[in-house]
Structure 1
């Protein structure tokens, strides 16, 4: 369950660079989560919703719970892009390849 392949079947890119490679995405996830929390707070202010401190906190928690899987995926993608670079030649080969 929730297994990631070792290599891309088309371009042979190794997904597991080191055992704790995606641990850094937790730090990125923290920043993205803070951005979502601030956005939820600002939206409550813009729409003039007077929830009080408890209501605002609950709306922020609700926003974080709703976007939790998205935050995780985006954080892993941002962290991976620090280390993996796009190569148009490989992309062209992969798009012309009929395997998988």
Structure 2
């Protein structure tokens, strides 16, 4: 679960720039997790749920556990986009590739 491929199937781009490259995505994952927690809290206020601190904590924990695979995938994608740049020339070659 949540494993990153070694290379792109179409353009052969190396997704592992260095060992432990995606370790930095932990920091992004923390920020995304905080955003999910704040969103869960705000939604509980919008829907006027009369919950105490324990109920709100439960809602936040449940939402984080349910969304954990998505948070991990999004954080790795965001981290990779800081370093892997889009190249239009490669994109043209890949779009004309017969493997698609």
TM-score (norm 1): 0.91
Aligned-residue Cα RMSD (Å) equals 1.7
Distance 2:80 2:4 in 1: 14
Q: Which contiguous aligned blocks of 4+ residues in structure 1 show a shift greater than 3 angstroms?
A: 1-5
Structure 1: gaps spanning 5 or more residues? none
Q: Please name the residue that 1:21 is paired with.
A: 21
Distance 2:4 2:45 in 1: 41
Distance 2:43 2:59 in 1: 10
Q: Provide closer, same or farther for how the CA distance between residues 37 and 2 of structure 1 changes in structure 2, counting only shifts above 3 A.
A: closer
TM-score (norm 2): 0.91
Structure 2: gaps spanning 5 or more residues? none
Distance 1:76 1:48 in 2: 34
